[in-house]
Amino acid sequence: MERKLSKIGWLIVICCIVLVGSLAYADTKTETNLEDELRALIFNFKPDSEPDGFRGIKWGQDISTVKGLIFHSTDPSYGGVALYTREGDELRMGGAELELILYGFWQDKFCDVRIYTKGFSNWSIFKAIVFEKFGEGYQGNEYIEKYTWWGEKAWMVLDYNEISKEGKLVMWSKDISKQQEEWEKEQVKKGVEEGW
């Protein structure tokens, strides 16, 4: 009996090695598509709720077409994501008071929105609103307030820091995120070719 378990154990190890080896040689594009499909199955938005922007601004919309933006700061990621607040923005959703809403523009295209809350009570209400709108998201660790959604057009992360009592929802464009990753790869390539 013990001998059979040992053989089965070795068989499992060999199968894992073959599987990992075959994945290592898989086409990168195909691998990325499979990853996207897997994420979409696990972290999906509830039906018909995936955002294509925020408060009337669509992903990829040119900054010149958005009225009332007030420059806030620059996130240095991907060569700079300009962050703006919006004149007259309602800093309330249902019963939740929002601390701040930042609209991110990369290469003058709307790429993300970052919504901040302060205090556990506001966080709890805001989280309930987000869950009602988009579904519950994927929580990787039941002890950590971090939820993820992964869709065809947008990705989203909602989290809460129990020490600072700050909550944050970040929604971003999947297409622009892929462009940012390509931009970053080009910068690495330039650094390798020109930096030495």
Query: What pLDDT score was predicted for residue 72?
Result: 98
Please check whether residue 181 is in contact with residue 77, taking contact to mean a CB–CB distance below 8 angstroms. no
Tell me what percent of the residues of the chain surpass a pLDDT of 70: 77
- The C-alpha angle 112, 61, 168, rounded to 5 degrees, equals 15
Share of the chain above pLDDT 90, in %: 69
Across 13-29, average pLDDT: 48
Whole-number pLDDT of residue 25: 45
Rounded average pLDDT over 84-88? 97
Question: What is the mean pLDDT of the segment spanning 126-153?
Answer: 94
| pLDDT at residue number 45 | 87
User: So what's the pLDDT on residue 23?
Assistant: 46
The domain ranges of the chain are 2-37, 45-183
Q: In the structure encoding, which two tokens stand for residue 116, read together?
A: 């901040």
List Cβ neighbours of 182 (8 Å cut-off, separation of 6 or more).
none
Q: In the structure, what pLDDT confidence band is assigned to residue 26 with cuts at 50, 70 and 90?
A: very low
For the ranges 24-28, 47-51, 72-76, the lowest mean pLDDT is seen at 24-28
Q: Can you say whether the dihedral through the CA atoms of 177, 76, 182, 24 is positive or negative?
A: negative
Q: What is the sign of the dihedral through the CA atoms of 78, 84, 90 and 92? A: positive
Instruction: Identify the bridge partners of residue 171 per DSSP, sorted by sequence position.
Output: 113, 156
